[in-house]
Chains A and B, each alone.
Chain A
Amino acid sequence: MTDSTLVRSLHYLLQVLTALLLPPLLPGLINKVKALMAGRQGPPVLQLYYDLARLARKQAVYSRTTTWVFLAGPVAIVAVSMIAALLVPFGHAPAPINFQGDMILFAYLFGLARFATVLSALDTGSSFEGMGAAREVTFSVLTEPALFLGFAALAKATGSLSLSGMLASPGFAISRATGPLILVLAGWMIVFLTENSRIPVDDPNTHLELTMIHEVMVLDHSGRPFALVLYGASMKLMVLGALIVGPLLPRTSHPWLDWAGFYAAMGLLAVVVGLVESATARFRMNRVPQFLVAGLLATAFAFFLLQA
């Protein structure tokens, strides 16, 4: 017993370290892929680590309009991502915290982060940030039900009411649930791209405030708060990414090999995101809801396939 407890704690420790240290690597990978696709050298893969270290040393500038709410967004996104990273299984081992209904908490934690980020944006009194905030909440209205319908489909398929049971158990076995699983993952991929403000919904590298969504909400952050925003965004990328790669991971013979599979899958996900960003342009703003509705329909359809 003590042996298995020790092994389990080692797994948990590895998960915590992965969640804390690895995320800034993912945006670096995505950018590298995009640069290579465009025939450029691109910034180093570790660029975000350098940026974070530099921002942490810089002094923050605050507008006279802002209040303490201005800091709530950056703090919330990092705190929430830390907790959410403990709820989602990385690989096949159950997550450090798992209980019945943890997926609801998982979704609402990110809802909390979004609420805080939007309020931080409105705290500046800038109409650009108001614009971004309005878009963020508008799109979340479609992503949230898609996320939950996906949970419903997986709960129906696996009979489990916990992320660890839903994501870690199925594997990619050929079964009645394969078709619905593909639909759920397709729908969640749309949620993933939207929530992490990637192309084709939002362009993280855009330079026109009028067309930004997420980036415009954090325009006025600087110094440590901005470091938190960047770090939190990369953590969210990783945690939501784990949601998608979980069901796809092949089950290997050894738990430690599962970890290798997980890292490889996360790297692959970053490469896929980079390829999508290189191959497609972003949608016009009024087209985005249609894209999101497609995600919603995919997850809803997955559920009804399972019920039939």
Chain B
Amino acid sequence: MMFLFALSAFLVAVSGVPGLWLRTGGGRAAAWLIGLGALAGLAAAGMVLGGAAPPTLALLHTPLGTQGFLRLDPIGAFFLVPVLVLPACGSVFAIGYWGDQHESARRLRLLYGLTAGFLVLLVAAAQALTFLLAWESMAVTSFLLVMAEDRDPETRRAGWIYLAATHSGTLCLFAAFGLAAGAGASFLFGPVAPGLAATPRGTAIFLLCLVGFGLKAGIFPLHFWLPPAHAAAPSHISSLMSGVLIKMGILGLVRGLVLVPDPPVWWGALLVALGALSGILGVAYALAQHDLKRLLAYHSIENIGIILLGLGLGTLGKSTGHPVLQALGFAGALLHVLNHSLFKGLLFLGAGSVVHATGSRDLERLGGLARSMPFTACAFLAGSWAICGLPPLNGFISEWLIYLAAFRGLALPRFSHWPVLALAALALIGALAAACFAKVFGVVFLGEPRTPAAAGAGEAPRAMRAPMLVLAGICAAIGVVPVLVGPALARAAGAAAGLPGPADLAGLAHLGTLTLIALPLLAAAGLIWAWTRKGAGPRTGLPTWDCGYAAASPRIQYTASSFADELVTAMRFVLRPQVRWRRVLGLFPSQRSYRSHVPDPILDRVAAPCLDLAERGLAVLHFFQSGQLPLYLLYILITLVALLVWMVA
């Protein structure tokens, strides 16, 4: 089984190599290699989630001990599923989307494979050193992926902010792992001693991990790097980053929480509070965006918030000795990790297909694409439907589990205000997300095209349609027949919650009943649809009634900004929209303009100034960075000698 896993990691990592020499068809070769690697890896994951003993592998045996320790446990196996499915879909999508006509095509394929390979290693890393190595390699290769269009200054800035954020996060992790090792916990991710969590050192470790992993996951207010980076990267790369990469922050948190037998109550409470904050503000900022990909990026922050709500409720259950809450919270969080990867990956691919066809990410320049791109429209609709958590798609299942956890948590004697906060936040997030995706789908795909570019759009090629179909199919399958993932989820959730065996999901949440409801719902809808179609007359070919205006143009339609205006205005005390417009005066007003923009407060007010300050302050150190190799070798030699002296002394 470990062979399958190693084979998978190897095939995925080298997938971009053949393309370096092939004149054409490098994209196909990469897709085949990643596809084969994904099959091997999914087989291994399936066996582990089916109950097989977790396989282990040590890459290096040194005199100082075993290094490079890998272990594919149920948690890792569960995370491995999206980690393999998304790159496989993205590499097929790239054949049509980022073909050899792009000068960066070869470089991107190589880095895409490497990033995915490091992700595969990361989910199985069972030792601090291996974990950090895979973590940092993944961060650096993904930074290079973001820089795909490095001629654009905006992209360079986005990449630079991402690099700074991810390095700061890694620094926190170094500190956290060091502190943990100092407290007697080994680097092998063994359980920490009971009682440590409540000490100041335990608190410091928890907070450092929260910041380090939170920076990667994009928890508000550590999310600032995420929207620019996701918007700047090509869409199949945004899909990988938003779908999988940021989930590694969640993986880290889960890995850390497993080891703690007695987390204090405030840990779970803090996670719930951060989840509510991320969820609500993420979707609120998303609602105010005009850029399709930035909007989707803010939705990732929202969904990380939903996952944190689940983790927080599960941790709360662990602290208070409430195994039902524990199982449901972790199960909901883990399933949402998988679900969000699937539908957010799908949505980014759909966005890529829109950008490919129209050359624009600006919502206000699109419209009416459902008629020229019917397939992309259906796929995007499926993704929107799922991300809003509406039944019967997969987003509903995971949100339902988290809701159930929150309802169960109401029975906690002293801490029931946290579950009720989670509940209200989830309901608010759900309604706001539905509003936001009604806006996106309505403005991009429905109505009349707002620009000639949108009017001239054509359907995406087959290589781009197939991955969208696969992802939408998985979303629908999990949504309609959730028992498909039930046993695997139970095993992973049991491991993540620190329960002795698989979580008793079958007894706690009637996943099968949801199928019994989804099927009649779909059948009823189908029958009613058929009845309606039967009574349809011929199409008149006339336009929508426009109240008798003489020269109505498509620009008279409701725009994304006008659709969101009421909600954005209602939340202006947090969003602080910047609006520039001049009042319309007189009987025959001349041309007027209206411009609104919602800046990201953390990025503009906190992160960017800090970064600039650091850059200027640390310019002194440029002295050491001479660019001469011999000098660098000298630095290494000096360090080694110094270390030797220190060890001897």
Partners in one complex: yes
Q: Which of B389, B447, B570 contacts A108 (CB 8 A)?
A: B389
Chain A residues with CB below 8 A from B404, complex form: 100-101, 104, 161
Do A56 and B535 form a contact, CB below 8 Å, given A134-B566, A138-B570, A148-B427? yes
Complex Cα distance, B366 from A138, in Å, reads 23
Tell me if B153 counts as interface (CB < 8 A to partner A): no
Tell me if A251 counts as interface (CB < 8 A to partner B): no
Chain A residues with CB below 8 A from B388, complex form: 111, 115
Closest Cβ–Cβ distance, residue B567 to chain A (whole Å): 5
- Once the chains bind, are A111 and B557 in contact (CB under 8 Å)? no
- Taking CB atoms and an 8 Å cut-off, the chain B residues in 354-406 that contact chain A are 367-368, 370-371, 374, 377, 381, 385, 388-391, 396, 399-400, 403-404
Chain A residues with CB below 8 A from B190, complex form: none
- Once the chains bind, are B540 and A65 in contact (CB under 8 Å)? no
- Taking CB atoms and an 8 Å cut-off, the chain A residues in 72-119 that contact chain B are 74-76, 78-80, 82-83, 97, 99-101, 104-105, 107-109, 111-112, 114-115, 118-119
Complex Cα distance, B554 from A130, in Å, reads 13
Do A149 and B438 form a contact, CB below 8 Å, given A112-B390, A125-B368, A130-B563? no
- Once the chains bind, are B521 and A60 in contact (CB under 8 Å)? no
Tell me if B588 counts as interface (CB < 8 A to partner A): no
For B434, the closest partner residue in chain A by CB is A115
- Once the chains bind, are B442 and A67 in contact (CB under 8 Å)? no
For A114, the closest partner residue in chain B by CB is B434
Complex Cα distance, B432 from A161, in Å, reads 25
Chain B residues with CB below 8 A from A50, complex form: none
Q: Which of B389, B428, B443, B545 contacts A122 (CB 8 A)?
A: B443
Tell me if B165 counts as interface (CB < 8 A to partner A): no
Chain A residues with CB below 8 A from B427, complex form: 107, 144-145, 147-149
Q: Which of A64, A78, A80, A99 contacts B541 (CB 8 A)?
A: A64
- Once the chains bind, are A100 and B510 in contact (CB under 8 Å)? yes
For B426, the closest partner residue in chain A by CB is A148
- Once the chains bind, are B517 and A100 in contact (CB under 8 Å)? no
Chain A residues with CB below 8 A from B532, complex form: 60, 71, 74-75, 224-225, 228
For B549, the closest partner residue in chain A by CB is A127
Chain B residues with CB below 8 A from A307, complex form: 416-417
Tell me if B265 counts as interface (CB < 8 A to partner A): no
Interface centre among A123, A127, A129 (most CB of B within 10 A): A127
Interface 1/0 per residue, A211-226 and B, CB below 8 Å: 0000000011001110
Q: Which of B403, B446, B516, B537 contacts A123 (CB 8 A)?
A: B446
Complex Cα distance, B417 from A57, in Å, reads 54
Complex Cα distance, B388 from A119, in Å, reads 14
Closest Cβ–Cβ distance, residue A262 to chain B (whole Å): 23
Q: Which of A65, A75, A128, A219 contacts B447 (CB 8 A)?
A: A65
Q: Which of A58, A109, A209 contacts B391 (CB 8 A)?
A: A109
- Once the chains bind, are B438 and A122 in contact (CB under 8 Å)? yes
Chain A residues with CB below 8 A from B423, complex form: 148-149, 152
Complex Cα distance, B441 from A149, in Å, reads 29
- Once the chains bind, are A126 and B430 in contact (CB under 8 Å)? no
Closest Cβ–Cβ distance, residue A49 to chain B (whole Å): 17
Tell me if B562 counts as interface (CB < 8 A to partner A): yes
Tell me if B536 counts as interface (CB < 8 A to partner A): yes
Chain A residues with CB below 8 A from B400, complex form: 101, 104-105, 108
Interface 1/0 per residue, B560-587 and A, CB below 8 Å: 0011111100100000000000000000
Tell me if B59 counts as interface (CB < 8 A to partner A): no
- Once the chains bind, are A63 and B544 in contact (CB under 8 Å)? yes
For A144, the closest partner residue in chain B by CB is B431
Complex Cα distance, B522 from A82, in Å, reads 11
Tell me if B558 counts as interface (CB < 8 A to partner A): yes
What range describes how many residues of A lie at the interface?
Answer: 35 or more
Complex Cα distance, B421 from A152, in Å, reads 10
Tell me if A175 counts as interface (CB < 8 A to partner B): no
Do A71 and B529 form a contact, CB below 8 Å, given A83-B524, A125-B554? yes
Chain A residues with CB below 8 A from B547, complex form: 128, 209
- Once the chains bind, are B420 and A149 in contact (CB under 8 Å)? yes
Tell me if A59 counts as interface (CB < 8 A to partner B): yes
Closest Cβ–Cβ distance, residue A119 to chain B (whole Å): 6
Chain B residues with CB below 8 A from A63, complex form: 540, 542-545
Chain B residues with CB below 8 A from A64, complex form: 539-543
Complex Cα distance, B535 from A114, in Å, reads 24
Tell me if B185 counts as interface (CB < 8 A to partner A): no
- Once the chains bind, are B431 and A137 in contact (CB under 8 Å)? yes
- Taking CB atoms and an 8 Å cut-off, the chain A residues in 128-170 that contact chain B are 128-131, 133-135, 137-138, 140-141, 143-145, 147-149, 151-152, 155-156, 159, 161
Q: Which of A58, A155, A224 contacts B407 (CB 8 A)?
A: A155
Complex Cα distance, B558 from A129, in Å, reads 8
Interface centre among B381, B442, B514 (most CB of A within 10 A): B442
Do A105 and B543 form a contact, CB below 8 Å, given A155-B410, A156-B410? no
Q: Which of A83, A125, A133, A134 contacts B448 (CB 8 A)?
A: A125
- Once the chains bind, are A127 and B556 in contact (CB under 8 Å)? yes
- Once the chains bind, are B446 and A137 in contact (CB under 8 Å)? no
Chain B residues with CB below 8 A from A155, complex form: 407, 410
- Once the chains bind, are A300 and B424 in contact (CB under 8 Å)? yes
Q: Which of B377, B385, B408, B438 contacts A137 (CB 8 A)?
A: B438
- Once the chains bind, are B543 and A115 in contact (CB under 8 Å)? no
- Once the chains bind, are B540 and A62 in contact (CB under 8 Å)? yes
Tell me if B630 counts as interface (CB < 8 A to partner A): no
- Once the chains bind, are B407 and A101 in contact (CB under 8 Å)? yes
- Once the chains bind, are B528 and A79 in contact (CB under 8 Å)? yes
- Taking CB atoms and an 8 Å cut-off, the chain B residues in 443-457 that contact chain A are 443, 446-448
Complex Cα distance, B446 from A97, in Å, reads 36
Chain B residues with CB below 8 A from A135, complex form: 566
Closest Cβ–Cβ distance, residue A159 to chain B (whole Å): 7
- Once the chains bind, are B513 and A99 in contact (CB under 8 Å)? yes
Tell me if B520 counts as interface (CB < 8 A to partner A): yes
For A140, the closest partner residue in chain B by CB is B431
Tell me if B435 counts as interface (CB < 8 A to partner A): yes
- Once the chains bind, are A80 and B432 in contact (CB under 8 Å)? no
Tell me if B411 counts as interface (CB < 8 A to partner A): yes
Closest Cβ–Cβ distance, residue A162 to chain B (whole Å): 10
Chain A residues with CB below 8 A from B611, complex form: none
Do A61 and B540 form a contact, CB below 8 Å, given A115-B434, A123-B446? yes
- Once the chains bind, are B525 and A76 in contact (CB under 8 Å)? yes
Closest Cβ–Cβ distance, residue B23 to chain A (whole Å): 42
Tell me if A124 counts as interface (CB < 8 A to partner B): yes
Complex Cα distance, B563 from A21, in Å, reads 36
Complex Cα distance, B320 from A104, in Å, reads 25
Q: Which of B385, B443, B542, B546 contacts A126 (CB 8 A)?
A: B546
Tell me if A289 counts as interface (CB < 8 A to partner B): yes
For B403, the closest partner residue in chain A by CB is A104
Tell me if A303 counts as interface (CB < 8 A to partner B): yes
Closest Cβ–Cβ distance, residue A73 to chain B (whole Å): 11
Complex Cα distance, B437 from A144, in Å, reads 16
Complex Cα distance, B570 from A143, in Å, reads 15
Tell me if A275 counts as interface (CB < 8 A to partner B): no
- Once the chains bind, are A75 and B514 in contact (CB under 8 Å)? no
Do A101 and B446 form a contact, CB below 8 Å, given A108-B396, A144-B430? no
Chain B residues with CB below 8 A from A75, complex form: 525, 528-529, 532
Chain B residues with CB below 8 A from A220, complex form: 544-545
Tell me if A69 counts as interface (CB < 8 A to partner B): yes
- Once the chains bind, are A122 and B396 in contact (CB under 8 Å)? no
| 8 A-B residue pairings within 8 Å (CB atoms) | A59-B537, A61-B540, A63-B545, A83-B521, A125-B447, A148-B427, A156-B410, A224-B536
Question: Beyond the given A69-B446, A119-B441, could you list 17 further A-B residue pairs with CB under 8 A, ordered by the A residue number?
Answer: A60-B535, A63-B540, A63-B545, A71-B532, A78-B524, A80-B521, A83-B517, A83-B520, A112-B390, A119-B438, A122-B438, A134-B562, A138-B435, A141-B567, A152-B420, A161-B407, A224-B535
Residues on B facing A (Cβ under 8 Å):
367-368, 370-371, 374, 377, 381, 385, 388-391, 396, 399-400, 403-404, 407-408, 410-411, 416-417, 420, 423-424, 426-428, 430-432, 434-435, 437-439, 441-443, 446-448, 508-510, 513-514, 516-517, 520-521, 524-525, 528-529, 531-537, 539-547, 554, 556-558, 562-567, 570
